[in-house]
Amino acid sequence: MIAASSSPFAAAAGAHRLAGIEPASLSRLGVWSGREWQSANDEEALKVMPSGNEGLDAELPGGGWPVGGMSEILLPGLLHPEWSLVAGALSRLLSVQPLQRVVLVAPPLQIFTPFAEMSGVPAQRLCCVHPDATGPASRRGMPDAAGVWVSEQALRCRDVAAVLAWLPHAQSQALRRLQLLAAQQRQLLWVFRPQEARVQSSPAPLRLWLKVHGKSLQVHVVKRRGPSQAMPVTLPLLHERLLCELTAQAWRKQRAQADAQALLGALRDPFRNPSREVSHALDGMAFAARR
């Protein structure tokens, strides 16, 4: 690659050296022409994947996550609410691409399988990769180099429907490579970084900053094509089906504890009528205790 220079003579010399290289050779070398770059950007702007939330889709350019572009998600401290943000899109994506998988690169937490299943994302369709964070590149001051490399390979794989990469220390040059590759491969790519990175420049066409308020998730659009965001989008922190299941589990646990206490009371006083204190499932045991 020719180094940039303000001298027209240097530019002319560089053009002369490249004059004998065919465009196909440049493509094999990973060099993008201006026409290819513009075409990729045009198609990216037209193709999106709905998020599954109307309020969020209204704020995303085109009405969904960009297919062929990097979406950078800035996370709030040690919290990880990102699954609530992307689960709807992953569910839709895997339903239309039943043979493909989703690759998770360096996820900080183990995937909660019931949550994934309730979100419509089969756990067997998720492939978690934990790159070696102690390799030579990390010792040279590039701790996310292995994660970036794995993400690049996943984006090139035809059996991969989307890539989710947690790259808290990725450099701008590495992020730019991922953005170009996502555009070239027409892939869905989410990159998760800490909220402190919002003051840094980023090649991502879409940047969102997440904040947690109680049981709600606020989504602030830091960067997008089009006008700036007027107000943040508020989403439920937990998926509706998961929230219902957790509520049902809490109710069953409370009911079981109440039944156990009622049974203990009946065993201590076998002549007391337990019908009002013990559920019907335990009536037989209470009757046996009275005898």
* 191-210 residue pLDDT tens: 999 999 999 999 999 999 99
The region that residue 109 occupies, defined by phi over 0 for left and psi between -120 and 50 for alpha, beta otherwise, is beta
Residues forming beta bridges with residue 221, ordered by sequence position: 208
| 285/291 Cα distance (integer angstroms) | 10
| 65/180 Cα distance (integer angstroms) | 16
| pLDDT at 19 > cutoff 50 | no
pTM passes above 0.75: no
Mind listing the pLDDT tens digit for each residue in 56-96? 999 999 999 999 999 999 999 877 889 889 999 999 999 99
Q: What are the chain's domains? A: 44-238 (3.40.50.300)
Residue 183: exposed, middle, or buried by beta-carbon count in 10 A (0-12, 13-18, 19+)? buried
Mean pLDDT in residue range 223-234: 90
| 61/109 Cα distance (integer angstroms) | 30
pLDDT at residue number 249:
63
| 190/263 Cα distance (integer angstroms) | 52
